[in-house]
Structure 1
Amino acid sequence: MIYHDFQGLRLSALGFGTMRLPVLEDGSVNEPLTTEMVRYAMEHGVNYFDTAYPYHGGMSEVVVGKALSAYPRDSFYLATKYPGHQISASYDPAAVFEEQLKKCGVEYFDFYLLHNVYENSIKTYMDPQWGIVDYFVEQKRLGRIRHLGFSSHGGVGVLREFLDAYGDEMEFCQIQLNYLDWKLQDAKGKYELLTERGIPVWVMEPVRGGRLAKLSEEETALLKGLRPDESIPAWSFRWLQGLPNVTMVLSGMSNMEQMEDNVKTYAGEKPLTEAEKKTLADLAEGMMDAIPCTACRYCCDGCPQGLDIPMLLHTYNDLKFSPTFTVGMRIEALPEDKWPSACIGCGACAAICPQSIHIPELLREFTAALEKVPKWADLCRQREEEAARLRAQSK
């Protein structure tokens, strides 16, 4: 197992992310298989386990805590998160934190994160009436949290704003980072900002929810021709191993096969050559089906609605590749008069676009595509209902 140093701690470079644990037919976590996967991880040097309050309807913390209880407390590092990103009428960090300690069966968390500081939730995290950051800073002072950080699906601007306010308190940051999102979601800009601020990077979605683990036959043949003994998911991890500020890579493993393959990959470093990196960059370009916007912003000057057109087109590129709620969250965080639906179709933007992009038509397409993506508020409500069902089922 590859290990990285973090403030004197010896962390396995591969962490077990528990958002996608194996499940049974009724949707509940398959505890025996999860316990076996934890055992395999521990026996093969994985010592970092990442969960969160809402994962698996709130049961991930319970199942992971129970599985880890078989091992000495100082033999693993446990991380969880505060759900300030969820839409709620009020926020009570103390109540949630105490519940999490109880669910996980521990007296402290090695790592604790503010969950998804993005364009909307940053208001919650920075709102003095909730005192969220202050509360967790105090828990760290008391020793109930050993290391405090945050995760984010937000843009570079959000990271900068949050770090300007709380950077002295944040010890690490978890972002979505892989060879596709390096450009598609400007993960490059986020990585460089965090590196500049001296904040170690934790990685989530290294294989983009499995998308980068299942390439086309042609793409697979190309990579196998270069590294016959390497699995396709391993290419994503090897790419990350070339980024010196990456300390922890989390993989949401759903079965033993994924666990075994990832452990094999992290048995040693096999860095990609420059030619191999270019191959992945070319593959990523081909996956994006991107609108060729260069963000020159000529279109913005004459827009009567004041829309941030390059940002909207960039987000549409992301949605076309992967229509998930995290993309919709970015639009929902904007004032409604700045959504793509606010476009009046005047065509002033298209008339001046150097790339000859028919912007009004694309914004209409984007609006229609967003209607098919679950709203974040609806997902929060569904998660609360699912959590209640699973709690009742577990009694």
Structure 2
Amino acid sequence: MKEVRLGIIGVGNMGTSHSKYVSQGDIKGARLTAVLDHDAQAITAFEREFGKGVQTFVDEDAFFASGLVDAVLVATPHYDHAYLAIKAFEHGLHVLCEKPAGVYTKQVREMNEEAEKSGKIFSMMYNQRTNPLYQKLRELIQDGELGEIRRINWLITNWYRSQSYYDSGGWRATWKGEGGGVLINQCPHQLDLWQWMTGMMPTRMRAFCRFGQYRDIEVEDDVTAYAEYENGATAVFITTTGEAPGTNRLEITGDRGKVVVENGKLDFWQLRVPEPAFNREYTGGFGEPEAWKVEVHITGTETGHPGITQNFINAILHDTSLLAPGEEGIKGLTLSNAMQLSTWMDDWVDFPVDEELYYQQLQERIQHSQVEKKVANVSLDVDGTY
């Protein structure tokens, strides 16, 4: 294969954004050949903007039976991600899926199983994995420069969203349409990076989600979570869409130093002597290990969505390693599910999370939802986020 014929499923804000950079030739080895959206108005808008060079479909079966695509990029509302990915695998297609992988891990586990059976390339649109800062931090951790991790603190409150944003789509901020709020829509990026950089998943978690705290919505828009790990490390994760100005500060401490990522900058303090060794040997009163601030050389440019898409195409054409393997999408989603479930049950949640219990609790909230949304005619900027 010399060229991948790419089909995009869902041409809302993100699907249209992906269509633009693919159709203008930014992805080497890929050509946009078809798009699918069940909304005829969305297809009409797509045809108006992109012309007739791309085959359009409103019929799902016709799209998959067309033979026009070798791979698909799924950019639909969350609940359809796993279903459409599975259908694509069944038709022998490679899959790049927008985040999150799904709404609940039970469906995502099925998607992962189908991906493995198909033998096709499966990637997640975790575009923040292309950020050189996070790549370097992962490298420092994996190479042991921080030593054994002791504490992780992530304050990520710069996902501000107004009421008009939530009113822009009938599926937004509902249990039935979206399956959650800030954890399932904005924070999949951070939840993925959290486990990807550290290589660790918690043993248990206690979380406090507040639902409709700042906006007229039924899902979570304010979250504080505390996690514990097998090695004794702890983590605190705080997020909201209702504060301005927001903060994005990640601090990871190990027994050999500390890293802080904030305002597009990585600061690294390395201990001259690892803390356990200092503690064993020191006999004074108020001393502490000497810390050196180390200049960390970071190179490269964040390539975002096009970078993940190019990596996906390269994996198909050249067997390049995936930066964001699709099977890893379940990990960040597990953290999200655990936070919601801990709040619903008002208790600690152990890992692995009880998938059946989470699914039952989610279905109860869908069935008892009283939301009747009136969708406002709001123009949303396409800025690479949701």
Q: By the TM > 0.5 criterion, same fold? A: no
| TM-score, normalised with respect to structure 2 | 0.35
By relative contact order (CA 8 Å, sep 6+), the higher-ranking structure is 2
TM-score by length of 1: 0.34
Q: 1 or 2, which has the higher helix percentage?
A: 1
Q: Quick check: which one's strand share is greater?
A: 2
